[in-house]
Amino acid sequence: MIIQYSFFGLGAVASGQGHPHRAARLWAATEVMNETYGTTLSPMVRALTNHEERLSAVRAELGEEAFTAAWSEGRAMPPEQAIEYALESPTTPRTDAPPAYPAGLSAREVEVLKLVAKGMTDPQVAEELYISPRTVNAHLRSVYHKTGFSTRAEAARFASEHDLL
């Protein structure tokens, strides 16, 4: 439950600091924990954090399509990846519009893709980004899914063609 409440609280912090994608992903991870472990957050905690209002604001700020995508990404994270994601510091300052990457790639997926395109192995990428090799692999699977490619070489070519290097 401590992890679940942490995801929830960090989602609230992210929403307040102008990171709506991050907030949606963390809240989605909280929802998965609710479903997986049969636990629920206290109604008092939801009320004290103005959760419903914050959730509505994040949904409105992102728009339905982007919100649904971020929510799906958060729900799809294995627990280890969700914990690593929660512990990461947001690297992008608040902007009016998040950078648009080709094929709907996230900023972190682009970071991983850049390093893979440079010829780095999963363990090398993990060390560079301070994440686990398993998380690198999860990001690569997501890149492959979004781009429609299935090999590192194809992904590297995609990165080159889209000026991501």
Q: Residues 70, 26: one domain? A: yes
**Domain residues for 117?**
102-161
Q: Are 39 and 33 in contact (CB under 8 A)?
A: yes
Helix (H, G, I), strand (E, B) or coil at 41: coil
Q: Residue 87 domain-assigned?
A: no
Q: Is the pTM of this model over 0.75?
A: no
Give the integer Cα–Cα distance in Å for 117 and 136.
13
Location of structure tokens 């000026």: 163
The single-letter code of the amino acid at 43 is P
Q: Residues 114, 154: one domain? A: yes
Q: Residue 70 domain-assigned?
A: yes
Total number of domains in the chain: 2
Q: Residue 91 domain-assigned?
A: no
pLDDT digits (tens, 9 = 90+) for 73-126: 999 998 888 888 888 877 655 555 566 889 889 888 999 999 999 999 999 999
Per the structure block, which two tokens stand in for 144?
A: 């492959």
pLDDT digits (tens, 9 = 90+) for 35-84: 888 888 788 877 877 788 888 888 888 888 999 999 999 999 988 888 88
